[in-house]
A and B are shown apart, each in its own frame.
Chain A
Amino acid sequence: MALATFSIWRGEAGQGKYCKYTTEFSEGMVVLDVIHKIQAEQANDMAVRWNCKAGKCGSCSAEINGMPKLMCMTRMNQLDLSKPVTIEPMKAFPSIKDLVTDVSWNFRVKKQIKKFKPRPPDAPDGSWRMSQEDVDRVQEFRKCIECFLCQDVCHVLREHQLHDEFVGPRYFVYIAALEMHPLDTEDRISELAKAKGIGYCNITKCCTKVCPESITITDNAIIPLKERVVDEFYDPLKRLFRMFRR
């Protein structure tokens, strides 16, 4: 058993302070284990979200020493324990209490994105045929666990607070998954520039760096979407061609 000190932001609705807790931890523990230990032994009422403890549900997002991370996938031996470890809630969203933030904006944004609209089935039994190569890219995007860490780190939301004009990297991944779905027939490109604000993204790639699912958000989702926007708006020939293809 070794000792660690956590400096945890505690408070409500943005008002609060950092509280220090010192506790023992054992080999193999992750940050979330230590948080739970503190919660069980020293701070019963501490607010923290979690479910799977295995990096699968995207609930336990927080900032550990300033880095947006999943607490359940950050091992204690990856941290410098010579000084207190700072644990804070995500900053791009309003605080509710302690480590819990109000992420409801994300759910509202998603609702405004046009849903999947498949082409008619390929076979009489109502099924479709798709080859694995054609779905590989979409499957990468569909790995997203909606942890919103990419949203948290993106300066457009974090610093500029443009939540009304910009959907954020998570939803570019979502739109890309729909747009590149081999069966989908909906058009979401025309909205991307205006309503979804893709132009604000200046390809800093911060989102890609924090994604716990290693989705190449910028290169594989955002850049191809930006290209499609350009095609759609500035290349009349291509646009015409697309119309025929439909």
Chain B
Amino acid sequence: MAEYQKFEHDVLIIGAGGAGLRAAIEASAEGVKVGLVCKSLLGKAHTVMAEGGIAAALATVNSADNWKVHFADTMRGGQYINVWRMAEIHAKEAPTCVRELEAWGAVFDRTKQGDILQRNFGGHRYPRLAHVGDRTGLEMIRTLQDHGIHQGIDVHMECTVISLLKEGDRVVGAFGYDRQRGRFLLFQARAIVLATGGIGRAYKITSNSWEYTGDGQTLAYNAGADLMDMEFVQFHPTGMIWPLSVAGLLVTEGVRGEGGVLRNKEGRRFMFDDIPEIYRHQTADNEEEGWRYCTGDRNARRPPELLTRDHVARCIVREVKEGRGSPHGGVFLDISWIKERIPNAPEHIRRKLPSMYHQFKQLADLDITTTPMEVGPTTHYMMGGVRVDAETQMSTVPGLFAAGECAAGLHGANRLGGNSLSDLLVFGKRAGKFAAAFAKEHGFGAINTDQVESLARWALEPFDRGPASPADGQGPYQIQHELQVKMQELVGIVRTEKEMLLALEEIGNLKKRVRSVAVHGNREYNAGWHTALDLTNLLTVSEAITRAGLERRESRGGHFRDDYPNKDKNFGEFNIVVRRGPGGEMQIVPERIPPMPAELKQIIEEQQQ
């Protein structure tokens, strides 16, 4: 018999980033008992790293902005395969959610009139990102955390959920372990919200931390829920590339929003060379106009550096491939040049981009106020994830909800910067609300003790096999590293059928090796053991990304295929759904996108002008 501690919560929320915290606050406001689980300490989730800002049509800087423009921008950025209803809800509700943060103590940068200041960001027609310098995520997570701790939420820090538990169709609990002591935990719940974030650790070059191993997506998939849009991984165009040890670390798009420009080694602003048709009328065709846009000139069009991330990332790859890259295999991002335009430029840069200044100064010995940075693409964000109902955020499994990065739908084929933080607020809130409603209508289900026993056994097997013999390739870090290298190489920014098939083979081999993964030491805070257990999740999401990528035989947003370099109208009518078949095999099912109501269509058409 496995030993475990047992907890009961009406609503269990897995993940304490922006989405999880917002959901927890909302659910407890609905009067149910809420438990919140997270792998790290409270306040350390990925959300803390977000830099640039929260997108919401507050219209404090440009009064022409409104939800319709935000909606149209989001759909255009997502190449029209977004769940349009989510894009609509998001655009409408984001402003209120940002104001709510202010009511809970957040202190955003201000306009001259004392309102919330908004900055420019890629793909957003107007200055739309509420921000605090370049540490917006910290402001957001701290505000939610400091408000949330007074709401009577039970927080389980440094605990990892390894499986959901079901009774019939419905989800009734979760099983996991506490990282500090290694003891098993059983959570019984009437409703569960997944808010576990992304999958970045499946790749070698990433802006994501150890936590982002696709847990939520895998938990949902294993519980029989649909995943969707898994082929769409966002590679952020500007990650650090030098020194090697910091490769992948994010350089916020805010740098470009403040006037930073991209140049190749010949000094050419190559982004002017390739402006996609759908953005041409909105994009500056000369440097002068681009700069005027960054200084807030409402009549100017935005510089091509602020085109969507997928496009900018591919342009950088092209420059490097064609031999015009920087010494360490990237391109130059220069903000220091603005000293030609404004007095006190160094001071201005340090105030607007303090943590970027700090990051480069400390980690690369480079002063961004005088010297261009070297940057290249980095794995950043997962557009796909758990398929949810737009209104309630419930997955296809009753009682199981998902919000934030681990859910799919809002961003379609490509996410606009700033739309994630607002996503967390809008849909975190909704998930919390509807999970609480579900909990009120449903009792606690029965826990299947056999399932719990076998999970506990499975989790401890790596110890039985340990210690790892590196020669046999049994080490958890070894396997993780090999997967990351393969995914980077074979299912990265530019994909082909041949390479993705190869990737599937590699994933198959690694799956076999995971069955013999071995760890040593004891159960207390054993990082090797934790890594070993995360491997299954990484492999599941890697397989889903690859299979969905094979199915989408076109290029769209974050998914670019060398063998099908163009958009295909037919594929534009489908989302690709991934689900677990009856025999445990991974099924790939294209699902037709429901037709958009006439009002929304009209908005999109109007905004195209």
Contacts and interface: CB of A to CB of B under 8 A. Distances in A.
Interface in B502-537: 519-522, 524-529
Contacts of B249: 53-54
Nearest to A108: B149
A128 interface: yes
Interface residue tally on B, bucketed by range: 35 or more
Given A100-B525, A146-B43, A55 B477 contact: no
A183 B528 CA distance: 47
Given A57-B48, A132-B109, A47 B149 contact: no
Closest 10 CB pairs of A and B: A28-B243, A45-B521, A44-B528, A129-B114, A116-B105, A47-B525, A40-B477, A51-B209, A132-B110, A97-B525
- Most B CB contacts (10 A, CB to CB) among A26, A29, A57, A96 go to A57
B397 interface: no
Given A44-B475, A142-B142, A27 B243 contact: yes
Interface string B220-244: 0000000000000000000000111
Interface residue tally on A, bucketed by range: 35 or more
B551 to A, nearest CB: 34
A139 B364 contact: no
Contact of A51 (B40, B42, B102, B109): B40
- Most B CB contacts (10 A, CB to CB) among A41, A45, A103, A181 go to A45
A45 to B, nearest CB: 3
B103 A111 contact: no
Interface of A: 12, 26-30, 33, 39-41, 44-59, 73, 75, 96-98, 100, 102-104, 107, 110-111, 115-116, 118, 121, 125-132, 135, 138-139, 142-143, 145-146, 178, 181, 183-184
B360 to A, nearest CB: 11
B576 to A, nearest CB: 31
Contacts of B477: 39-41, 44
B146 A115 contact: yes
A33 B244 CA distance: 11
Interface stretch (B132-140, B486-494, B584-592): B132-140
Contacts of B44: 51-52, 57-59
A12 B524 contact: yes
B99 A126 contact: yes
Contacts of A181: 105, 107
A52 B526 contact: no
A53 B105 contact: no
- Majority SS of interface residues in chain A? loop
B115 A127 contact: yes
Interface string B115-149: 11000000000000000110101110010001101
B159 to A, nearest CB: 13
A103 B41 CA distance: 9
Contacts of A102: 180
Nearest to A59: B44
A147 B99 CA distance: 28
A58 B147 CA distance: 20
6 contacts: A28-B243, A40-B481, A44-B519, A45-B527, A51-B40, A54-B49
Contacts of A178: 105
A59 B41 contact: yes
A49 B211 CA distance: 11
B205 to A, nearest CB: 13
A118 B133 CA distance: 23
A23 to B, nearest CB: 13
A116 B147 contact: yes
B180 A29 contact: no
Contacts of B520: 44-45
B437 interface: no
A47 B115 CA distance: 45
B362 A73 contact: yes
Contacts of B115: 127, 129
Contact of B355 (A27, A56, A116): A56
Nearest to A143: B135
B245 interface: yes
Nearest to A114: B150
B244 A47 contact: no
Contacts of B147: 115-116
B209 A143 contact: no
A96 B519 CA distance: 20
A221 B362 CA distance: 26
- Most A CB contacts (10 A, CB to CB) among B46, B142, B364 go to B142
A131 B250 CA distance: 30
A28 B245 contact: yes
Contacts of B476: 44
A201 to B, nearest CB: 23
B359 A97 contact: no
A97 B114 CA distance: 48
A4 B109 CA distance: 44
Contacts of A135: 107, 110
A87 to B, nearest CB: 15
A28 B242 contact: yes
Interface string B401-439: 000000000000000000000000000000000000000
A143 B43 CA distance: 13
